[in-house]
A and B are shown apart, each in its own frame.
Chain A
C-alpha cells in the first residue's frame, strides 16, 4: 500500500496563477484533510471531507477550493495564487481510531 500520495512535490507559481494539488489514499478511509504548515508554525486545517460527497471549511479556507472526486481522491485548488499562500501543504486521511496518516507534502512557492 502506498498510503497517502501527493502531487506535485514542489511547485513555483507566479502571483495570480492557478493550480491544483492532488491527493490520493489507498487505505479506504472515509475522511480526508488538507493542511498548510508555514515555517516554524503548526498545522492549520484548510478544508476537510468527512466522507465522499461532502466537504467543509477548516480554519483557513480563504483562497482555496476543494473537490472530493471519489473516496480515494481529494484535491485542493488555488484559483489565484498569492505570496501569502507560500507554504507546505499536507494531505491526510483518517483511520479507524481517528489517527491521521499524512502524505509527503507539496512545497509551494508563490512569487
Chain B
C-alpha cells in the first residue's frame, strides 16, 4: 500500500455542487494531516490542517477517520475558482523530516 493515496480524478462538477475527496494513508501513527491546494503551474498552498476533531473553514470541511485511515475534504457550494488540484499531506514526524505528499486530486468546476 502506498503511503498516501488519492484518486487523481478529475472530478468534474457544476457550480454550486458539493464534492468530497478522500485520501488514504498507511502510517497508523500519523497524528495530523494537511490539505493543500495547487493551481496549474503554481506552488502548493496550505488549505487547512486536519486533526482528530476535524476542521471547518467556510465552505471547506476536513475530517479524519482513524479506524479506516483516511482523511476527507468536503467542498460545499463549489465555485469556479475552486478548480485546482488538492494535495493530501502527511507531515514529517517521529524523527523524520520528510513529509509525504499524495499526487493530488484534480477538481474542475464548470458553469
A-side residues, CB < 8 A to B, are 31, 41-43, 45, 48, 50, 56, 58, 88, 90, 94, 97-105, 107
**B3 smallest CB distance to A (angstroms):** 12
**Of the residues B44, B98, B103, contact of A102 by C-beta under 8 Å:** B44
The contact size tier of chain B is 20 to 34
B-side residues, CB < 8 A to A, are 32, 34, 41-46, 49, 87, 89, 91-93, 97-99, 101-104
**B71 smallest CB distance to A (angstroms):** 15
Is the beta-carbon distance between A43 and B49 smaller than 8 angstroms? no
Is the beta-carbon distance between A99 and B49 smaller than 8 angstroms? yes
Q: What residues on B are CB-neighbors of A43 within 8 Å? A: 44, 87, 101
Given contacts A50-B97, A100-B99, contact A105 B43 (CB under 8 A): yes
Q: What residues on B are CB-neighbors of A104 within 8 Å? A: 42-43
SS of A interface (majority): strand
Q: What residues on A are CB-neighbors of B49 within 8 Å? A: 97, 99
Q: List 21 A-B contacts (CB under 8 A).
A: A42-B87, A42-B104, A43-B44, A45-B98, A48-B98, A56-B97, A90-B43, A94-B92, A94-B97, A98-B32, A98-B93, A99-B46, A100-B44, A100-B46, A100-B99, A101-B46, A102-B44, A102-B45, A104-B42, A105-B42, A105-B43
